Structure 1
Amino acid sequence: MIDERDVVAVERQLGRAPRGLRAVAHRCPCGLPDVVETAPRLPDGSPFPTLFYLTCPRAASAIGTLETSGMMRSMQARLADDPALAAAYQAAHLDYVARRDEAAAEDGLEPLPRDMQSTGGMPTRVKCLHALVGHELAVPGSNPFGREALDALGEWWASGPCCLVEEEAGAEDGSGGASADQLRPARAGTER
């Protein structure tokens, strides 16, 4: 289950209500969610292959800059020339599909079709660094291109949280919102 404060944060990050939200998959060092886990099928039953969805607008903007720099073209070329890298990317794809199938089973949903790409172009293309970074943040060590992009990003969180989230109780009792403990960065690892 996901905390209501996290739902509010994700809604503010995206500028809309999140769909198919299952859990916080990773927290930014600022303490807010930056990757969420979504259901493989939306409430209307339509397929949603992006299990790990990057929500932080600052991280997304920084990744967009990497994408326009030609990083994906370079990665794609290396994928074709480096069998070990191709094998690691294939393993990332298999990890992603297995986790997505597990989420579907946990939610009582039909898994997505076997011939559907996992995310970000995997396993044969490099199509979306946002998705690959989301995978790497949610499952550290799983995605070689997600790791490369993440290493190139810099500290997107350094200027503080990307959005403000007031606690309902804080608003009611006049304390003005979240405490320092509530905004403290989460420990390393994933949340499910």
Structure 2
Amino acid sequence: MYCSSEPDSGRLVTTRHGGTLATVGAGPFTTHAISLAPLAITDRRMEYCLQLAARNMTPYLQQRRQRFDETRWRNFAPQADFFLIVCQPTDHAMSAEQTAGFLSVRDEPDCPNALHIGDIQLEAALCGRGIGSTALALADALARDRGRIELTLNVFRENPAVRLYERCGYQRIDTDLLSGKYKMRKTLRERVTLCEIE
């Protein structure tokens, strides 16, 4: 699967134990809570996830003279757990709950101690508000809840999100020259570490 998001400029403020909710400040004017809502593979909103992944990944694939492979995406989807990334208003900045994107995670058969982020996709209009870094912090909590000590992901080398991942503790461990992606890994500490975005 593909992984893409734009860098965020918000600041992570709090996380609730269990990895389902975090509150972020999105600049000086807005504050909202971010939650991960589990999504069944049979849920009709999986089509939203497919369309968002296709929209976000197409520019990277076009640079490689490739097309988004919907069949491949659908074949990999049942191997992952999907979560909608939901923004919930905590002040007057947002009038209603809003879907900001989605996250998918799956087991790594070759690395039983790791949880792999297959996708982290955000709506372009909501990038730069701290949502991506908060979703990554919630992925940390998911991994801990499952007894994992590492998280991995793949990202196109030119994706600006590489900097976000590095600020959140991910390190480049391999480069796939054929696909043009970095494989990145984060080793979790025992204590939750807040990811602060400059």
Q: Same fold (TM over 0.5)?
A: no
What TM-score, normalized to structure 2? 0.31
The structure in which a higher percent of residues are strand is: 2
Larger-gyration structure (1/2): 1
What TM-score, normalized to structure 1? 0.31
The structure in which a higher percent of residues are helix is: 1
